[in-house]
Amino acid sequence: MSGPATAPSELHVVGGAPLRGRLRLPGCKGISHRALIFAAIADGRSTVRGLADGADVASTMTVLDGLGVKLRPDGDAVSVRGLGFDGLREPTSVLDCGNSGTTMRMLAGLLAGRDFFAVLVGDESLSARPMRRVLDPIAAMGARVDGRDGGARAPITVRGGSLRGVRHQLATASGQVKTALILAGLQAEGTTEIVEPAPSRDHTERMLAALGVEIDRPSPETVSVARGEPMPFELTVPGDPSSAAFFVVGACITPGSDLVLEAVSLNPARIGYVDVLRRMGAEIDVVVTGEQVGEPVGDISVRAAELHGTDIAGDESIIDELPVLAVAAAFAEGTTTIHSAAELAVKESNRIGTMEQELTQLGIGVETRPDGLVIRGGAPRGASLKSHGDHRIAMAGAIAGLAAEGETTVRGFAATAISYPGFARDLASVLAQ
């Protein structure tokens, strides 16, 4: 990676060229959002290097700025003058979360404990996504909340205040909702406990523990916190494991590929896709080389291999990678079933429907289910694909084009600016001529 990148509006890929060499990915989006929020509520100056450069993380910065937090670019870093919870001030206008569900949900939890009024808005896609999952539990702690569609969708309003700790039994495992409730719990009287039906990504717990917050994990599904504030910190954000997944699948399915992805977050809750691909026959090595705020960091090496179909049970550790795993399935021999992944339908697009449409364009047999897809692997042929305004569908389409026969075009490719504006440039840098 070097310099700021602009996502092209359309991408053309000619199938057949392998991926070779080494690549350093932009910073992990999930860690970047959290680092900015934790820096804002710490009392003092923090420095974050290698932040994700996409529009989602920029949305978090815009919203924090609206709460009075000073964020200043400092070379390749961002310097944040944290205000502590009590220094945040009532915003004078709406807080625009753009396309970022992570920003809206986490901020709702943060604002629940602030004694002022805030309105959170988003783009069309974000305004269609479910918000009760975060609004109901913060209301149970004492915040006054509302939203469009009877309180279900954005725009949402939060009038925060004194909170009391509550034991939350969540219906859906969600790293975003869990983080929101931890942020509320850090401002509440008594203990806040969050119990999930299955473990979700644990960046928040690892990072806050490394920043001096007492945070208990009585079981993998349960987190418990009391009042507290993180200390200011310095952090270099490791590479994004979900962005890495596109290149990992690309190298698996394109004969002759041999690629190393450097300094990626190897948080076990984020690299479940490596196990799925290995089960499909992939040749992938993962080596931990260091640690950043409680997060293991290291390299992922991958070589092309013949893949075969498998059964994939969706869970939070692979939910964002399912579009590109569906592409791997399209090139695998036999049938792949993705199930227990109903959450796919409420992401940036309805990914069950959008993946079905795009795989069908590639000539692959696909059936949809309410909780997933059945994909009959074969020999995809180049096609004209669409992003549906969804960054991960755009990048999955580009990866399919790498190994499809002939030429593939992905329209609406500018959507990649959400998480990875430099994707097209980085892909070109590892495409062997």
Judged by CB under 6 A, which stretch of 69-77, 149-157, 173-181, 182-190 contacts ligand S3P? 173-181
Contact residue for ligand S3P among 46, 47, 125, 174 (CB under 6 A): 174
Residues 233 and 230: their CA atoms lie apart, in Å, by 9
In whole angstroms, the minimum distance from the beta carbon of 272 to ligand S3P comes to: 12
**Contact predicate 28/266, CB 8 Å:** no
Q: Mapped to the 3 state alphabet, what secondary structure does 90-114 carry?
A: CCCCCEECCCCHHHHHHHHHHHCCC
Q: Is 99 an interacting residue with respect to ligand S3P (CB under 6 A)? A: no
Instruction: Name residue 176's beta-bridge partners.
Output: none
Contacting ligand S3P within 23-62 (CB under 6 A): 30
In whole angstroms, the minimum distance from the beta carbon of 203 to ligand S3P comes to: 7
Q: Is 224 an interacting residue with respect to ligand S3P (CB under 6 A)? A: no
Does the active-site annotation cover 320? yes
Q: Is 175 an interacting residue with respect to ligand S3P (CB under 6 A)? A: yes
Q: Is 319 an interacting residue with respect to ligand S3P (CB under 6 A)? A: yes
CB nearer to ligand S3P: pick between 179 and 361 = 179
Rg (CA), the chain: 21
Q: Is residue 155 reached through a cis peptide bond, with omega within 30 degrees of 0 on the bond before it?
A: yes
User: What sign does the CA torsion over 274, 279, 280, 283 have?
Assistant: positive
Pairing mode, strands 188-189 and 215-219: unpaired
CB nearer to ligand S3P: pick between 96 and 321 = 321
Contact residue for ligand S3P among 316, 321, 356, 390 (CB under 6 A): 316
CB nearer to ligand S3P: pick between 246 and 331 = 246
Q: Exposed, middle or buried, 218 (CB in 10 Å: 0-12/13-18/19+)?
A: exposed
What is the four-CA torsion angle of 396, 400, 402, 408, rounded to 10 degrees? -100
Q: Is 112 an interacting residue with respect to ligand S3P (CB under 6 A)? A: no
Contact residue for ligand S3P among 46, 47, 102, 254 (CB under 6 A): 102
Residues 368 and 342: their CA atoms lie apart, in Å, by 11
Nearest to 355 by CA among 373, 381, 333, 337: 373
Residues 295 and 237: their CA atoms lie apart, in Å, by 9
Contact residue for ligand S3P among 96, 123, 202, 320 (CB under 6 A): 320
In whole angstroms, the minimum distance from the beta carbon of 393 to ligand S3P comes to: 13
Q: How many residues bind ligand S3P (CB under 6 A)?
A: 11
168 SS3 class = strand
In whole angstroms, the minimum distance from the beta carbon of 25 to ligand S3P comes to: 16
Contact residue for ligand S3P among 59, 103, 125, 176 (CB under 6 A): 176
Contacting ligand S3P within 196-215 (CB under 6 A): 201
Q: What is the binding site for ligand S3P (CB under 6 A)? A: 30, 102, 174-177, 179, 201, 316, 319-320
**Residues catalogued as catalytic:** 320
